Amino acid sequence: MRAVRSTARGIVRDAAVAAVGLSLLGVAVNAARPGGIPLVATEEYEVFVPCPEPLGEVEGIPPSDPRVGDPRTFLVDARDARAFGRWHAPGARNIPFDYLEGVPDEVVRRVASSGAAQVVVYGDGEDPDSGRELGRELAGRGVRNVFYVEGGFRALEAR
């Protein structure tokens, strides 16, 4: 038992000596280098680093626009499945939009390869509107002719 303790202490001691020695060597090499890494920050750290977002531009259209009911339109409801089940525009497909998770690639491919003349998205009509945001994501990922319904489902339901 005593031999095991002695061996464990020796390992810990050797590791501590190596860590201190290598740290001192690193500081010395850094000090000798021209333009070495500063040990103390000379300016404030940048906390917010913007992430690239694949968002495109979409045009808002009124709920009375003929493109909404056009049979060549791929009509998308961006609300959750429960809201879609309560009411949705005739012919609409449900693609729930989540602000934190992107639209899966297979869904984007399905929309892009639908052969539709245009894609019209409607959402909750809030600010920000889930329909507009889903439309921006689809447009940013290569889907062409994407529009969103201003006022969302409430405007469509009221017409």
The residues of the chain scoring below 50 in pLDDT are: none
Residues written for the chain: 159
Residue 49 lies in a domain: no
Residue 25 lies in a domain: no
Do 156 and 63 form a contact (C-beta atoms < 8 A)? yes
The residues, any chain, with a CB within 8 Å of residue 48's CB and separated by 6 or more, are none
Domain containing 149 — which CATH number?
A: 3.40.250.10
Domain coverage including residue 64: 59-158
> CB 83: neighbour CB atoms within 10 A?
17
Q: pTM for the complete prediction?
A: 0.67
pLDDT of residue 159: 78
Q: Report how many domains make up the chain.
A: 1
Residue 135 lies in a domain: yes
pLDDT of residue 38: 81
pLDDT of residue 91: 95
pLDDT of residue 22: 93
Residue 88 lies in a domain: yes
* Residue whose tokens read 């259209």: 61
pLDDT of residue 35: 83
pLDDT of residue 71: 95
H-type helices in the chain, by residue range?
Answer: 2-32, 66-69, 81-86, 105-112, 130-140, 152-158
